[in-house]
Amino acid sequence: GQSLEQPSEVTAVEGAIVQINCTYQTSGFYGLSWYQQHDGGAPTFLSYNALDGLEETGRFSSFLSRSDSYGYLLLQELQMKDSASYFCAVKSATNKLIFGTGTLLAVQP
Amino acid sequence: DTAVSQTPKYLVTQMGNDKSIKCEQNLGHDTMYWYKQDSKKFLKIMFSYNNKELIINETVPNRFSPKSPDKAHLNLHINSLELGDSAVYFCASSQQGEFSYEQYFGPGTRLTVT
C-alpha cells in the first residue's frame, strides 16, 4: 500500500520555529513536495526535494532523507498568516502526486 | 490574470442529477488533473490528462467522466450524483513529466449533494 503520515495538528506562537514531519511508504519515490492550504483556499506549492538534504526558500525550508523515508517542513519566524494546513506529497513513478494526511498549523499570538 | 480557473465555485444539487465542472488554465501547461478533497481534507487524485490524452485514471466510479477538448481545458462530468460525492473538487495543472511535483490548483468547486 501507499501511505504518508503527518501529525494532524501543530500549535506554535508567533515568531517561533515549527517543524512538520512526514513519513512515507510508497511504491516508487521520485521526490517529496510540500503544499500549503489556507481554510477555504486552494493548495499552493511551497517546495520540493528530489535528493537528500535541505532546501531553503525564505522562511521555509524542507528536508529529505530517502534512506529513512522521511522529510520535514521547517517554518521560521512564524506569522499569523502561516496558520493553514500543510501537506506533503510524494511524486511517484507515474508522475502523480500522492498527498499526505495534512497537518493543521495554528499560530497563536 | 487567473492561472487556473474553475466554474462553478459552488454547486448544490439533488441525488440522481447530472452535473459538470469546467476548468481552464492559461499557464501553457501540458498536464491537467482532477482531485477530490473530502471533509477530512484528504486530497486524492482522480484523473490526469497530458495534452488531451488520459494518463492517470484512479479507481473512480465510472459515473465520473473527464473530458479534455484541448490542453488548456479539462472538464468533469458526474452522472447520477450520490451523497458521497459531496466534496471539494480541485482542478490543477503542471508542466509535464518530471515537473509534475509543482502543480497549480484552481480555487475549487464545492459540491453538495442533498
pLDDT tens per residue, range B67-85: 999 999 999 999 999 999 9
Grade residue B97 by pLDDT with cuts at 50, 70 and 90: confident
Short-list A6, A22, A99, CA closest to A66: A22
CB A97 to CB B107 under 8 A?
no
Which of A69-73, A88-92, B57-61 is predicted least confidently?
A: B57-61
pLDDT at A94 over 90: no
CB A95 to CB B98 under 8 A?
yes
Task: Look up residue A79 and give its DSSP letter.
Answer: -
Residues A12-48: pLDDT tens digits? 999 999 999 999 998 888 999 999 999 999 999 999 9
Short-list A50, A62, A59, CA closest to A77: A59
Q: Which chain B residues are closer than 8 Å to A26 by Cβ?
A: none
Grade residue A1 by pLDDT with cuts at 50, 70 and 90: low
A43: its cell numbers: 493548495
Q: Which residue in chain B has the smallest CA separation from A50?
A: B101
State the sign of the Cα–Cα–Cα–Cα dihedral A70, B57, B85, B70: positive
Phi-psi region of A15 (alpha: psi -120 to 50; beta: other; left: phi over 0): left
- Selected for mutation to probe chain B from A97, A103, A104 (highest B CB count within 10 Å) is A97
pLDDT at A95 over 90: no
pLDDT at B42 over 80: yes
- Rounded CA-CA distance B80/B17 in Å is 5
CA distance B91 to chain A (A): 10
Identify residue B41 by its one-letter amino acid code: K
Task: List residues bridging with A25 in a β-sheet.
Answer: A3
Other beta carbons within 10 angstroms of residue B3's beta carbon come to: 13
Contact A19, A6 (CB under 8 A): no
CB A91 to CB B106 under 8 A?
no
Task: Look up residue B98 and give its DSSP letter.
Answer: G
Residues A35-88: pLDDT tens digits? 999 999 999 999 999 999 999 989 999 999 999 999 999 999 999 999 999 999
Sheet holding A53-57, edge to edge: A3-5, A18-25, A70-75, A60-65, A53-57
Name A2's Cβ contacts closer than 8 Å, sequence gap at least 6.
A25, A26, A27, A90, A98
